[in-house]
Amino acid sequence: MHFINMVTLCSSEKAKAAALNFLPILTWLPSYPVKKYLFSDVVSGVSTGVVQLPQGLAYAMLAAVPPVYGLYSSFYPLLIYIFFGTSRHVSIGTFAVISLMIGGVVVREAPDSMFYIQPTNGTNATAFVDEEARDARRVSVAVMLTTLVGIIQIVLGLLRFGFVAIYLTEPLVRGFTTAASMHVFVSQLKYLLGVKTQRFSGPLSVIYSVKAVFSDITSTNITSLIVGLVCLIFLYVVKDINERFKKKLPIPIPGEIIVVIVSTGISYGMSLSTDYKVDVVGKIPTGLLPPAVPEFSLLPSLVTDSFAVAVVGFSIDISLAKIFALKYGYSVDGNQELIALGLCNFISSFFRTFAITCSMSRSLVQESTGGKTQIAGLVVSLVVLVVVVAIGFVFQPLPQTVLAAIIMVNLVGMFKQFRDIPTLWRTSKIELAIWLVAFVASVLLGLEYGLLVAVTFAILTVIYRTQSPKTAVLGHVSDTGLYCDVDEYEEAAEYEGIKIFCSNSSIYFANSDLYVNTLKEKTGVNPEHIQAAWKAQRKRKVANSKHNSTVKICAKVSPPFLYLHGCLLCMQTLSFVDSVTHEVLPCNPVVEEQKNGELGDKASETDIFIEPLSTVHSIILDWTSANFIDSVGAKAIKQVLSFQWNQIQSKQSVQLDTLQFFTGIITTDMVFPTVHDAVLHCQHRNSHQPNNLTGANTGNQEEVVEATC
């Protein structure tokens, strides 16, 4: 009975935990402090909603769909995110970069050329575009793309793939978004100037767009240009005032909604559309559309694009969410954010929305105006709902050049990211390269291909960093337990006869050869060279004593001893010593101690002295920075050195056991927990060995190897 109760209790706790994880709103809404937070959230929601309205209309232009769909995308996703999102401050909805990526796909799948209609009343009449059919097709493409984005994000979230955002490093994201802002800016030039040009997508689309605009610049609509420039200047000044006096202003000045209202009134009063040929927003249907199933027949051509939009949208959301979470002392769950964004996109797509993510500018407005929770997001959605249901028709005379000005001014923050270049030049050349590659590739190749190139390059830089790690010979800083690079720290001094070699990377197939070569170079101990030198000395000595039947080789052998500290290897015998045993001695060697340079009294023997071949008697490898060692790395080191071990840390011990590293003379006797322990062992062992190499301690001690030739 107790067992059944325990099982029931555990099951109920797991179910409750699962429900709280899936519906984060349940963790904060029951304890929501109405008196403390409600007023701030309402003020913040209204302020953010005022910004959301013109941005929704403007970003729909970037997505190449009618403006009203920007309002739909600013309503449904907010309602869904309130229940499933983990961030309290981000503002979900349309965003310039994502809208532009969608617009590129939409224009590619439904170009104007597909909808040209030849007039029937005359053969010489100019063909025109069936805008109604074109817009319907483009909406279908955007909706299907959004459905796929939602499915991908949900699946990645359920599979706990929230960590994928780490591959979009900050320099990559900032370079990519700066390039996206270039695309956005160029795409709005034709609306600002009031010229009619084709919209391009894919590689070199920026160049083609600029060329098309300047080729047709003589047809600029002066009225559109004047209205756009006035709005542009006004919005920039208001944004600058809001930034400078944000601590003194209770709420930011709503420059965007002011511009929208005033320009709409002027456009209606002066009939800018009919009298001055200024392009306006046009018809905005009143009310919400009924749900409909997306056209899944479009799916095959949108899969690749949907992955790019899904990953970029999530990376922007999680990066901004983490900033606010760190600032206000709460946590966000990357996997749940993936699921939340996926549900926002998937469910909303049935109501004719396009893909969304959080907006940096709106999130900052929501946070700076006192927003505490996503109740502010609920108020934003209600503001949008009122416009869509009741007063959307009011914005029909709104000039498109005003929306272009709103978009361009909102790009100012992204263009400021060019300041990253001198900073990265001073701090990290590799990160600067990532930033520049992401920017240049995304500008020239388009956002989808540019992102792929940037991610590939970022991964290659990781390989480069591990393949070409920083290596150093360490020395001891007196009166401390520190061991530092002797080339960088004057206080660090090497111990006589001991080389401490350190690498800041793992040892694996890509860098094992470089590691071994650098080890030989830095320590000055090359087994092949020592072996060759030993053989040359031996041959010369033996050649001079051919008349004797027995040769006794007295060698001051230099046996570097390799220690591994966690991993710290102490190497004591190199392969050239094995050569002594196997090539010089056909029988078991006899080691004798010689004193004062005098030999034994065996009359039938000739004594041959071989000078020490290295001043290094011990090599310590510091592997504390190595996260892993693969079989190729282990074999590469074993081919050069013979190891003896002592006490290895459990993680590396299991790993090296799996690689069958502890074989032959390689045992678990020579690993030490710290570099200093290995150094003390080297010093202690060397002071008690007859084959000590240091001049202060060796005296005339020699290792004598006797063999019959």
**H or E stretch including 706?**
strand 703-708
Residue linked to tokens 């609509």: 221
Most confident of 363-377, 500-514, 677-691: 363-377
Whether 357 contacts 317, CB under 8 Å: yes
* Predicted pLDDT of residue 80: 95
Least confident segment among 73-87, 205-219, 282-296, 595-609: 595-609
Residue 488's beta-bridge partner residues?
none
The pLDDT of residue 17: 78
- Give the residue among 685, 547, 563 at the shortest CA–CA distance from 623: 563
Tell me which H or E stretch contains 477.
strand 471-477
What pLDDT digit, counting tens, does each position of 98-119 carry?
A: 998 999 899 999 988 888 787 6
Judged against a pLDDT cut of 90, whether residue 539 lies above it is answered with no
Return the top range by mean pLDDT from 118-122, 497-501, 548-552: 497-501
What's residue 511's pLDDT?
Answer: 79
SS3 content of the chain, % helix, strand, coil (to 5): 60, 10, 30
Q: Are 295 and 333 contacting, i.e. CB atoms less than 8 angstroms apart?
A: no
Cβ atoms within 10 Å of 483's Cβ, excluding its own: 24
Residue 700 has pLDDT above 60, yes or no: no
At residue 681, does pLDDT exceed 90?
no
pLDDT above 60 (res 297): yes
- Residue 570's DSSP bridge partners are 562, 620
Q: How confident is the model at residue 252 (pLDDT cuts 50, 70, 90)?
A: confident
- 182-195 pLDDT per residue, tens: 998 998 899 999 89
Token pair 């591990």 is at which residue? 466
Confidence of residue 689 (pLDDT cuts 50, 70, 90): low
pLDDT at 158 exceeding the cut of 70? yes
Rg, the chain, Cα only: 37
DSSP per residue, 304-367: HHHHHHHHHHHHHHHHHHHHHHHHHT----HHHHHHHHHHHHHHHHTTT----EEEHHHHHHHH
Decide: 80 and 70 in contact? Cβ < 8 Å.
no
> What is the CA 504 to chain-centroid distance, rounded?
20
Look at residue 670 and tell me whether its pLDDT is greater than 70: no
Per-residue pLDDT at 222 exceeds 90: yes
pTM value is 0.72
Question: In the chain, what percentage of residues exceed pLDDT 90?
Answer: 30
Task: Find all residues with CB under 8 Å of 136, minimum gap 6, and list them.
Answer: none
Q: Is 202 in a helix, a strand, or coil?
A: coil
Rounded to whole angstroms, the Cα distance separating 312 from 306 reads 10
**pLDDT tens digit sequence for 321-371:** 888 888 888 888 889 999 999 999 999 999 999 999 998 888 888 888 888
Q: How many residues make up the chain in this entry?
A: 709
Which tops the pLDDT comparison, 562 or 587? 562
DSSP state, residue 459? H
Determine phi and psi for 501, rounding to 5 degrees.
Answer: -105, 130
Least confident stretch, 1-10, 353-362, 415-424, 456-465 = 1-10
Would you say residue 286 has pLDDT above 60?
A: yes
Over residues 553-578, the mean pLDDT reads 43
The predicted structure's pLDDT at residue 125? 60
Instruction: Tell which wins on pLDDT, 615 or 290.
Output: 290
CA dist 179 and 450 (Å) reads 9
DSSP-derived pairing of the beta strands 671-672 and 561-565: parallel
Instruction: Give the closest residue to 385 by CA, choosing from 671, 30, 45.
Output: 45
The lowest-confidence range among 244-248, 596-600, 695-699 is 695-699
Separation of alpha carbons 552 and 609, rounded Å? 9
Share of the chain above pLDDT 70, in %: 78
- Cα distance between residue 215 and residue 652, in whole Å: 66
The pLDDT value recorded for residue 150 is 96
The answer to whether residues 95 and 398 touch, using CB atoms and an 8 Å cutoff, is: no
Q: State both tokens at 348.
A: 């909303």
In the predicted structure, residue 651 carries a pLDDT above the cut 60? no
CB 384 within 8 A of CB 74: yes
| 11: pLDDT strictly greater than 90 | no
> Which phi and psi (to 5°) does residue 537 adopt?
-60, -45
Categorize the per-residue pLDDT at 69 as very low, low, confident or very high, splitting at 50, 70 and 90: very high
pLDDT band at 453 (very low <50, low <70, confident <90, very high): very high
> What pLDDT, on a 0 to 100 scale, did the predictor assign at position 650?
37
Are 642 and 573 contacting, i.e. CB atoms less than 8 angstroms apart? yes
Mean pLDDT of the chain, nearest integer: 79
Q: Domains along the chain? A: 54-116+129-418 (no CATH), 471-526+614-687 (3.30.750.24)
Q: Which amino acid is at 210?
A: V
Output 91 or 12, whichever has higher pLDDT. 91
- pLDDT of amino acid 559: 45
User: For position 123, what pLDDT does the model report?
Assistant: 56
Main-chain dihedrals φ then ψ at residue 503, nearest 5 degrees: -130, 140
Lowest mean pLDDT across 137-146, 350-359, 653-662: 653-662
CA angle, 513 as apex, 507 and 516 as ends, to 5°? Answer: 80
Alpha carbons 566 and 652: distance in angstroms, whole number: 8
> Number of C-alpha atoms within 13 angstroms, CB side, residue 548?
19
